[in-house]
């Protein structure tokens, strides 16, 4: 079953459809909780270190393997910046949920927890289910109330720019960051439509610099171009090459760009998620001293 078939089947489920209808026209937060940008309150007497977690769809489960190793080693960045899948993992980590628990929730995550088809666009998710999931997991706390500094990055639709959400409703900010146009409807915040900034900045390193970080480790879960199968469509090759060029240009602003090597084709099964987390865990262990050199106080 491909993604479009799955979405259409979900849309046909009357219970989900009724819930989606309510969520489709409701922000799910008060005006005072609207996500917004602002300066980061850096901890005193420690370096301004940042961990940037890039986008990558299902490949983003690999971020959990990275976070598990950093937590076990006692390495804690002062700021977590996340884009798309990286924003999802980053928000849970910023809430100081133990990484084994983040892993458990990621492995147990079911489609009904994030599936809320739009009435007007039944092949798209609204995103409120994802927003609600994140808010439940972080204890309904706003971004500025999370134990670790956090920033969710999104792109205004039609613009080659990024917005760094550092205040307001955590779930809504992550929802905007993860609104991949092929799967989710754009998310309106303050009258502006936002979407996943993947093709603007898949690994938003410069955002971390702009927020004041002086040491940055960025984690890239993108496909390696030399792993591309011969049968891969030309459109995929073009997109991968464009993303790689964007990342490589921005990588000059990072102290360390850590690329996790993963299978080329993405999946959604529990086995796929487990494999990605294990691969990232092993590769991060092999590079832990490089992480420590940048992120450790």
Of the listed ranges 21-35, 225-239, 240-254, 278-292, the one predicted with least confidence: 21-35
Half-sphere exposure of 129 (CA within 13 A, CB side): 21
For the chain, the farthest-separated pair of C-alpha atoms sits apart, in whole angstroms, at 55
Give which of 34, 36, 29, 27 is closest to 163, Cα–Cα.
36
Strand partners of residue 154: 163
The confidence score (pLDDT) of residue 12 equals 40
Q: Which residues of 75-96 are buried (b: 16+ CB within 10 A; e: fewer)?
A: bbbbbbbbbbbbbbbbbbbbbe
pLDDT digits (tens, 9 = 90+) for 186-216: 999 999 999 998 989 999 999 999 999 999 9
Give which of 232, 215, 122, 209 is closest to 162, Cα–Cα.
209
Higher pLDDT, 112 or 154: 154
The confidence score (pLDDT) of residue 24 equals 63
The confidence score (pLDDT) of residue 8 equals 44
pLDDT digits (tens, 9 = 90+) for 85-122: 999 999 999 999 999 999 999 999 887 787 788 776 66
The confidence score (pLDDT) of residue 119 equals 74
pLDDT surpassing 70 at residue 18: no
Average model confidence (pLDDT) across the chain: 91
Any idea of the CA torsion for 96, 88, 203, 58, to the nearest 10 degrees?
130
Tell me the average pLDDT across 57-65: 97
Tell me the average pLDDT across 242-266: 97
Per the confidence metrics, is the pTM higher than 0.85? yes
Higher pLDDT, 25 or 139: 139
pLDDT range class, residue 2, cuts 50, 70, 90: very low
The confidence score (pLDDT) of residue 9 equals 43
For 158-195, give the secondary structure using H, E and C: CCCCCEEECECEHHHHHHHHCCCCCCECCEEECCEEEE
Torsion sign over Cα 128, 199, 70, 100: positive
- What would the two tokens of residue 147 be? 């134990």
* Residue 268, SS3 per DSSP: coil
pLDDT range class, residue 124, cuts 50, 70, 90: confident
The confidence score (pLDDT) of residue 210 equals 97
Tell me how far CA of residue 211 lies from CA of 156, 267, 277, in angstroms.
19, 34, 29
Cα gap 200→277, rounded to integer Å: 26
């Amino acid at each position: 079953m491909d993604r479009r078939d799955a979405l259409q089947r979900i849309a046909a489920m009357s219970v989900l459809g009724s819930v989606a209808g309510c969520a489709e026209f409701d922000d799910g937060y008060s005006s005072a909780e609207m996500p917004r940008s602002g300066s980061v309150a850096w901890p005193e007497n420690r370096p301004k270190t940042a961990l940037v977690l890039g986008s990558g769809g299902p490949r983003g489960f690999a971020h959990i393997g990275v976070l598990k190793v950093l937590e076990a080693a006692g390495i804690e960045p002062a700021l977590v910046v996340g884009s798309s899948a990286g924003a999802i993992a980053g928000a849970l980590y910023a809430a100081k949920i133990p990484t084994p628990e983040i892993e458990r929730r990621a492995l147990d995550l079911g489609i009904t927890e994030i599936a809320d088809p739009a009435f007007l666009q039944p092949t798209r998710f609204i995103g409120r289910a994802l927003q609600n999931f994140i808010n439940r997991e972080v204890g309904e706390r706003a971004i500025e109330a999370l134990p670790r500094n956090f920033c969710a990055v999104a792109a205004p639709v039609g613009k080659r720019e990024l917005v760094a959400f550092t205040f307001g409703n955590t779930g809504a900010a992550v929802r905007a960051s993860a609104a991949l146009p092929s799967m989710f409807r754009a998310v309106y915040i303050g009258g502006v439509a936002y979407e996943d900034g993947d093709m603007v900045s898949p690994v938003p390193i410069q955002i971390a610099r702009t927020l004041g970080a002086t040491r940055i480790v960025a984690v890239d879960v993108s496909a390696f171009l030399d792993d591309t199968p011969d049968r891969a469509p030309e459109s995929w090759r073009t997109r991968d090459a464009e993303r790689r060029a964007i990342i490589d240009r921005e990588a000059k602003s990072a102290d360390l760009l850590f690329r996790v090597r993963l299978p080329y084709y993405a999946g959604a099964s529990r086995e796929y998620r487990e494999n990605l987390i294990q691969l990232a865990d092993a590769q991060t262990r092999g590079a832990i001293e490089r992480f420590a050199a940048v992120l450790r106080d």
